Amino acid sequence: MLNNLLRLGSTALVCGVLASAAHADKLQDVLDRGHLIAGTGSTNAPWHFMNESNELVGFDVDMLRLIAKGLFDDPDAIEFINQSGDARIPNLATDKVDVTCQFMTVTAGRAQQVEFTVPYYREGVGLMMMADGDYADYEALKAAGSGVTVSVLQNVYAEDMVHAALPEAKVDQYDSVDLIYQALNSGRADAAATDQSSLSWFMKQNPDRYADAGYGWNPQTYSCAVKPGDQRWLNFVNSVLHEAMTGVEFNTYAASFEGWFGVKLDPPKIGFPIEFK
Amino acid sequence: MDILQTLDAIWLARMPILHGLGNTILISLLSILMGTILGVVVGLLLTYGIGLVRLIVRLYSDFLRGTPVFVLILACFYILSVVGIQLSAFQAGVFALTLFCSSHVGEIVRGSLQAIPTGQTEAAKSIGLTFFGTFFSVLLPQALRMILPTWVNTATEIVKASTLLSIIGVVELLLSVQQVISRTYLSLELYFFAGFVFFLVNFTIEKVGRFVERKVALPT
């Protein structure tokens, strides 16, 4: 009885594996379907959020639209699956999405569960100050030693994170992003420390009010991710992202980058490919 | 806390927030309705079921009540899709809340039926009522009065549990408010607003419950 069950189970397993092997051509599946099913969130500006017209926008969304454009020559041939951060890996594993671009930090642990594409952004922690404040830049903050107060999101590592850049600074922890900005506005803090992308976006929203201290640390890489085991699909998404940063879609990528982070990118140097420099 | 700025942000996002509220109400209504129907069956089987049937229903009820709703929602969304049943996030969420609701309603029904003295059943039998006659004319009217207050309590629990559907991407009230927060950074103000709206929904349910309770109460 048990043997029969085991045999039945293993037959089903083999059939399943064969079936999935025969079907492991995501690129063709997506082309046949006629639109891309893309996973991303909806609650993190400037990555993926609802604008005032209630449309999903952001840098992640632009990357996904580039993939749709590469597939169908139509950046709108896309269906967004709204997912929380926790749902990124399960939704790939259960084929609920074709690809996920959701400010996903590349780690060795995650790389065992999904396949990461080439990176499309390097995140880090930055320091934002009032434009008319007492300190000119990072060097001035560092020189002021314990006279400086830094507001930061509450976290187990918050103190260590700030001290990695400003060893003597006083650290004030707050519950939410709006409160760390509020602390800066009200003069309770001399600088706010959080993700560089959040700071860039906030400074772009409030031009001339704030200044970037010009120092970034704690690097982490953001990549899109696909379900493991389909090299052709991974290659395709890689090609799209790579050419967005270095090739034919550079202008689209650069416009998006400037739109969300307020930074104008220099076009890649013509001639010898920069990747091999 | 700038009240005008907060009201302005809410007014600007009124359509998505109303849509989120509509989803919350729809999810809650469907789950409570289907959960109650299924729950009454569970309750009857727990009380009158025999042997194996009763054992299976007992396991069903204990398992569902002993599992966090959060886990139940994830299981309905992911495990069902692994075995080949593709439910949308909305459907999977409603399914999970229905199961959760049914197990609670089942226990409420069982408790109420068992609280009615056995003398009543015996009296009903002695005047020649069948099982169904006894149930519908004697037991159910009494049980309903006892069920109502705890049932209202379960209904409000379901409304609150519906916020967990945001984890699988259903844009209910809480997620629609979080979307506004990510754009405006008004986190404390808008979470307070969301909490207040949830309170209004549950307060309404409670008031309706009280009203029905008064209507069906025996004259003293």
- Residue pLDDT, tens place only, A34-77: 999 999 999 998 999 999 999 999 999 999 999 999 999 999 99
Angstrom distance (rounded) from CA A35 to CA A30: 6
- Tell whether A142 and A198 lie within a shared domain: yes
- Distance between B199 CA and the closest CA of chain A, angstroms: 23
Q: Which fold has domain B3-216?
A: MetI-like fold (1.10.3720)
Angstrom distance (rounded) from CA B9 to CA B42: 46
Other Cβ atoms less than 10 A from the Cβ of B193: the count is 20
Residue A181 in contact with partner chain B when CB distance is under 8 A: yes
- Tell whether A200 and A237 lie within a shared domain: no
Rg (CA), chain A: 22
pLDDT band of A156, cuts 50, 70, 90: confident
- Tell whether A96 and A227 lie within a shared domain: yes
- Distance between A46 CA and the closest CA of chain B, angstroms: 9
pLDDT on residue A13:
43
- Tell whether A42 and A107 lie within a shared domain: yes
Lowest mean pLDDT among A2-11, A16-25, A201-210: A2-11
Environment class of residue A215 by beta-carbon count within 10 Å: exposed (0-12), middle (13-18) or buried (19+)?
middle
- Tell whether A140 and A180 lie within a shared domain: yes
Residue A44 in contact with partner chain B when CB distance is under 8 A: yes
pLDDT on residue A15:
44
Name residues whose C-beta falls within 8 Å of residue A100's C-beta, 6 or more positions apart in sequence: A38, A39, A40, A83, A88, A91, A92, A114, A224, A225, A226
- Tell whether A183 and A142 lie within a shared domain: yes
Q: Are B187 and A50 inside 8 Å of each other by CB?
A: no
Tell me the chain A residues in contact with residue B186 when contact means C-beta distances shorter than 8 Å.
178
Q: Are A63 and A101 in contact (CB under 8 A)?
A: yes
**Which residue from A minimizes the CA distance to B190?**
A178
Could you write out the three-class secondary structure of A81-149? EECCHHHHHHHHHCCCCCEEEEEEECCHHHHCCCEEEEEEEEEEEEEEEECCCCCCCHHHHHHCHHHCE
Nearest by Cα to A65 from A268, A226, A253, A191: A253
Q: Are B112 and B103 in contact (CB under 8 A)?
A: no
Q: What is the DSSP letter of B167?
A: G
Residue A177 in contact with partner chain B when CB distance is under 8 A: yes
Average pLDDT, chain A: 90
Other Cβ atoms less than 10 A from the Cβ of A145: the count is 12
Residue B212 in contact with partner chain A when CB distance is under 8 A: no
Name residues whose C-beta falls within 8 Å of residue B194's C-beta, 6 or more positions apart in sequence: B173, B174, B177
pLDDT, average across residues A107-124 = 96
- Tell whether A172 and A39 lie within a shared domain: no
Whether residue A225 is contained in a domain is answered as yes
Q: In the block, which residue shows the tokens 């289907």? A: B34
pLDDT on residue B4:
87
Residue A197 in contact with partner chain B when CB distance is under 8 A: no
- Tell whether A166 and A213 lie within a shared domain: yes
- Tell whether A132 and A157 lie within a shared domain: yes
Q: Which of 53-92 (B) contact A at CB < 8 A?
A: 74, 78, 81-82, 89
Q: In the block, which residue shows the tokens 């609802």? A: A50
CB nearest A50 (choices: B16, B78, B168): B16
- Tell whether A29 and A84 lie within a shared domain: yes
- Distance between A38 CA and the closest CA of chain B, angstroms: 13
- Distance between A42 CA and the closest CA of chain B, angstroms: 6
Angle formed by the axes of helices B140-161 and B187-216, to 10°? 170
* Whether pLDDT at A185 is above 50: yes
Q: Are A84 and B16 inside 8 Å of each other by CB?
A: no
Whether residue A12 is contained in a domain is answered as no
Angle formed by the axes of helices A196-205 and A250-261, to 10°? 70
Ordered strands of the A170-174 beta sheet: A78-82, A36-40, A99-105, A210-226, A115-130, A191-195, A149-153, A170-174
* Whether pLDDT at A12 is above 50: no
Environment class of residue B215 by beta-carbon count within 10 Å: exposed (0-12), middle (13-18) or buried (19+)?
exposed
pLDDT on residue A16:
45
- Tell whether A163 and A229 lie within a shared domain: no
Q: What is the DSSP letter of A262?
A: -
Q: Are B176 and B183 in contact (CB under 8 A)?
A: no
Of the candidates A192, A220, A248, which is a domain's last residue?
A220
Give the pair of three-digit tokens for residue A258: 């400037």
Residue type, A72: F
pLDDT on residue A275:
86
pLDDT on residue A274:
87
Which residue did the predictor score with more confidence, B73 or B1? B73
Residue B2 in contact with partner chain A when CB distance is under 8 A: no
Nearest by Cα to B43 from B112, B115, B120: B112
Q: Are A45 and B183 inside 8 Å of each other by CB?
A: yes
Mutating which of A50, A84, A97, A151 best tests the B interface, going by the most B Cβ atoms within 10 A? Answer: A50
Q: What is the pLDDT of residues B96-151, one digit of tens each?
A: 999 999 999 999 999 999 999 999 989 999 999 998 899 889 998 899 899 999 99
Query: Which structural domain range is residue A238 located in?
Result: 24-122+221-262
Q: What is the CATH number of the domain that holds A168?
A: 3.40.190.10
Query: Cα(first)–Cα(last) distance of chain B, in Å?
Result: 51
Tell me the chain B residues in contact with residue A13 when contact means C-beta distances shorter than 8 Å.
none
- Distance between A267 CA and the closest CA of chain B, angstroms: 30
Nearest by Cα to A38 from A198, A265, A240: A240
- Distance between A21 CA and the closest CA of chain B, angstroms: 16
* Whether pLDDT at A18 is above 70: no
Residue B185 in contact with partner chain A when CB distance is under 8 A: yes
State how far the alpha carbon of A276 is from the alpha carbons of A3, A116, A272, B173, in Å: 57, 21, 8, 50
pLDDT band of B218, cuts 50, 70, 90: confident
Q: Are B182 and A45 inside 8 Å of each other by CB?
A: yes
Whether residue A267 is contained in a domain is answered as no
Q: In the block, which residue shows the tokens 């409420």? A: B108
| Count of structural domains, chain A | 2
**Complex ipTM, two decimals?**
0.82
- Distance between B177 CA and the closest CA of chain A, angstroms: 9
Residue A234 in contact with partner chain B when CB distance is under 8 A: no
Angstrom distance (rounded) from CA A213 to CA A191: 8
Q: Are A87 and B167 inside 8 Å of each other by CB?
A: yes
Residue B16 in contact with partner chain A when CB distance is under 8 A: yes
β-strand pairing of A115-130 with A149-153: unpaired
Q: What is the DSSP letter of A53?
A: T
pLDDT on residue B1:
54
Residue B12 in contact with partner chain A when CB distance is under 8 A: yes
- Distance between B59 CA and the closest CA of chain A, angstroms: 25
- Tell whether A256 and A201 lie within a shared domain: no
Q: Are B183 and A52 inside 8 Å of each other by CB?
A: yes
β-strand pairing of A149-153 with A191-195: parallel
pLDDT on residue B55:
95
Q: Where are the domains of chain B?
A: 3-216
Tell me the chain B residues in contact with residue A60 when contact means C-beta distances shorter than 8 Å.
none
CB nearest B169 (choices: A49, A83, A179): A83
The SS3 assignment for A214 reads strand
pLDDT on residue A23:
56
The SS3 assignment for A23 reads helix
The percentage of residues in chain B with a pLDDT greater than 90, rounded to a whole number, is 74
Q: In the block, which residue shows the tokens 């860039």? A: A200
pLDDT band of B82, cuts 50, 70, 90: confident
